[in-house]
Structure 1
Amino acid sequence: MNLTTTGRATAVVTLAAALVLSGCTKKNDTAATGDSSAAAGSGSTASGGAKKKVAFVPKLQGIPYFEAMNAGGQAAAKDLNIEWLYQGPTQADAAAQAQIVRSYIQQKVDTLIVAPNDPDSMAPVLQQAKDAGIKVLTSDTDAPSSVRSAFVSQASTEGIGTALVDQLAKVMGNKGKYAIVSCGETAQNLNGWIAVQKKVTAEKYKDMSIVSVVYAGEDQNKATQMATDLMNANPDLTGLVGECTSSAPGVAQAVKDAGKIGKVFTVGLGTPKSMAPYLTDGSSSASILWDVQNLGYLTAWAGLQAADGKTLEATNKVNDKMTAVTYDAASKVLLLGPPLVITKDNAGTFSY
């Protein structure tokens, strides 16, 4: 979903033709290698250790969101002269993700960055990486109780959760019942946003209420079915939130299929290209996100700083587009910036 998020980095690959909107169904490839096609264009293998190896393990490989992060990482690799390694499970599976992380530990990468599906089960694996002398970070999704030295955050938890509720309240007329279709039950960023949504709804929108929170994994079709079931079970439901980049288009599709555009309103955390048709026809009112390619670039940059043993400053110039990225030493959070509101008017300005 911490769309985490959320300036624009220049895309180095054309993503749309190669990406799918839901998780792949093939078996997980658990052998992470630096030669994978996902790392193409990120620089040749280090000669004599000249290039730092920065590895990123997303929650899920093969969906537009993380492929956009990968594009940003590849752009950073060219600019920073690092080797960018990228591989995740092809299903949102914590055990498969941990196996990929262990493979990168065996490869002795310089920095290992993970967006954990399950922060608690990932924490011991990150400890293994640290014990092996590898610098450890998280990005997009945090594992705050782990040994990670920094979390590269797409936007603040408070900012994302509040923006979701505010955008939905606007189209619901500040009243009515809504439901949330989330993804992974253990994802720290998604659960953090939901907690904020509950708080903001109760304190700011007294005439609105959340009737249910359900979990569709990273499966857009399942999100559509769950949203359909929620509307059938709650005839007075007037709002739906898709909490991640697969459930956001999923809930909008459910409203469209049910012929309830203008009667049930949706917002979510979807990538611009995947949400553009729904924003255009009104089945979605807004997408809350961030510049995902910038997040990927920042992730790679932070990985290099860690590999080089550099201390992050309170304000950091990453490149000419990200000139004031803040770092909070107390929480160890490197913050990309405030969330973006994507509508039918600006969705076409993004390349992913």
Structure 2
Amino acid sequence: MSKLLGAAAVSVSMLAAPALADDTPTIGVVVKVGGIPWFNAMEQGIEEAGDKLGVDAFMVGPTSADPALQVRAIEDLIARGVDVIGVVPNDAQVLEPVLKRAMDAGIKVITHESEASQNKDFNFELVSAENFGKAHADMFAKATGCEGSYAVYVGGLTVPAHNAWADAAVTRLEEKCPDMKQAADRFGVAESVDDSRTTTLDLLRANEDFAGVMAFGSQGPIGAARAVQERGLEGEVAVVGLFSAGQGRRLVHSDALTGGFVWSPIEAGKAFVELGTMLVMGDTVQDGDDVPVLGTVEVDGKNIYANKPLELGKDSVDGLSELGL
């Protein structure tokens, strides 16, 4: 786990990394927030791939999901002169100027969960936003029987991937369950267990017909499920979304957390390093290529799509937890 400096919002390991040969690629990956299970697993993948490929690869974990901290971390990486910057944006628009500065400095830029980012060499996704959203909506429709009101949580109202997944899920749910309505506007609470829990408790109090939550952000399903558990509504109020299997498995088995879909953050970490190394070596990725970690991919402009969703449910969550997901 990265040690964090609150003021600089970058990992100590980055600043203290040993000097390596000039021809050794250096890859720094800035994630949304450090210290939570999802990004701890991603860091594992980054380090494993770095060791395998013989590159200097590390994760930078800001102390909170604040886009300004990501900007500062990227500025630090530019000053260091890394070869590749990877980022999982909290706000794609806020990062555009600093990512442009990185590219102008000759640094390769790879984003993840940010198809709309402009200043990048590639963005990669382990499952398309549309298919990811649809899968959650289908699970939610089955769990609720298409009855009652519901809420949608994202990590932040400017987080690109979370909102793309949510948009796809809502569109699908409107098609399958036209009588279901949202109890309130979208909530940007899904990167906080406490905020998701409090919001869910408020919604349960305010809406007698409240049927559940679709949460896009790894802490949202956990907080919502804890609220359901507190109210003794396990199996009656649905909670679906992406979450760390290790963090959520007990809630799944208690019926407080219905389930969801996820991809491996370990594999995402490895993909940052594999793609970064390819770019440094002058390679590129084309539609239909078989790419390490990602498998056979579809390429649309600068967006790379794999198809590696993993279902989280009672039959699978323990096995995925044992894999460190």
TM bucket, shorter chain = over 0.9
Deviations 1:140-196 (A, max 9, x none): x21624210110113100111101111111111133221112221110001111111
> Partner residue of 1:46?
20
Is the CA contact 1:92–1:217 (under 8 Å) kept in the aligned structure 2? no
* Equivalence map 1:211-250=2 (5 Å): 211-212=183-184, 213-216=186-189, 218-250=191-223
User: Counterparts in 2 of 1:51-70, with a 5 A limit?
Assistant: 51-70=24-43
Indicate the residue corresponding to 1:113 in structure 2: 86
Q: Cα distance 1:237–1:138, how it changes in 2: closer, same or farther (>3 A)?
A: same
Q: How does 1:189-200 map to 2 (within 5 A)?
A: 189-200=161-172
Aligned to 1:290: 263
- The match for 1:302 among 256, 275, 295 is 275
Q: Does 1:201 align with 2:173?
A: yes
The counterpart of 2:137, out of the listed 135, 148, 165, is 165
Instruction: Give the one of 296, 303, 306 matched to 1:325.
Output: 296
Residue 94 of structure 1 and its aligned partner are, at CA, apart by 0.7
Partner of 2:68: 95
Q: Deviations over 1:86-131 (max 9, x none)?
A: 1121100111110000000001100111111111110000000011
CA distance in 2, matches of 1:239, 1:85: 38
Alignment equivalent of 1:314, drawn from 282, 287, 293: 287
Distance 1:200 1:143 in 2: 20
Structure 1 counterpart of 2:288, one-letter code: T
Aligned-partner residue type, residue 80 of structure 1: L
Which of 20, 24, 30 is the equivalent residue of 2:9?
30
Compute the displacement of 1:265 (Å).
1.3
Amino acid at match of 1:27: G
Q: Partners of 2:71 and 2:229 in 1: how far apart?
A: 38
TM-score by length of 2: 0.92
How high is the TM-score relative to the length of structure 1? 0.85
Higher RCO, Cα 8 Å, sep 6+:
1
> Which AA in structure 1 matches 2:155?
C
Q: Is the 8 A contact 2:149 2:182 kept in 1?
A: yes
- Per the alignment, residue 280 of structure 1 pairs with 253
* Gaps in structure 2 of 5+ consecutive residues: none
> Residues 198 and 210 of structure 1 are in contact (CA less than 8 Å); yes or no, is this contact kept in structure 2?
no
State the identity %.
Answer: 27
Given candidates 148, 153, 168, the residue that maps to 1:176 is: 148
1:185 has 2:157 as partner:
yes
SS at match of 1:142: coil
**Kept after mapping to 1: 8 A contact 2:33/2:63:** yes
- Residues 318, 179 of structure 1: alpha-carbon distance in 2 compared, 3 angstrom cutoff: same
Residue identity opposite 2:99 in structure 1: L
Question: What secondary structure does 1:334 align onto?
Answer: strand
Classify 1:45/1:143 alpha carbon distance in 2 versus 1 (closer, same or farther; 3 Å). farther
Residue matched to 1:15: none
Segments of structure 1 that go 5 or more residues without pairing to the other structure are: 1-17
Letter in 2 for 1:71: Q
Q: Secondary structure at the match of 2:307?
A: coil
> 1:337: Cα distance to partner?
1.6
State the alpha-carbon separation in 2 of the partners of residues 132 and 174 from structure 1: 52
| Partners of 2:10 and 2:61 within 8 A in 1 | no
Distance in 1 (CA, whole Å) between partners of 2:111 and 2:48 is 19
Provide the secondary structure at the position in 2 that maps to 1:85. strand
The residue matched to 2:203 in structure 1 has which SS? helix
Structure 1 position 217, deviation (Å): 5.6
Structure 1 residues 252-267: aligned runs within 5 Å: 252-267=225-240
Residue 35 of structure 1, CA deviation? 4.1
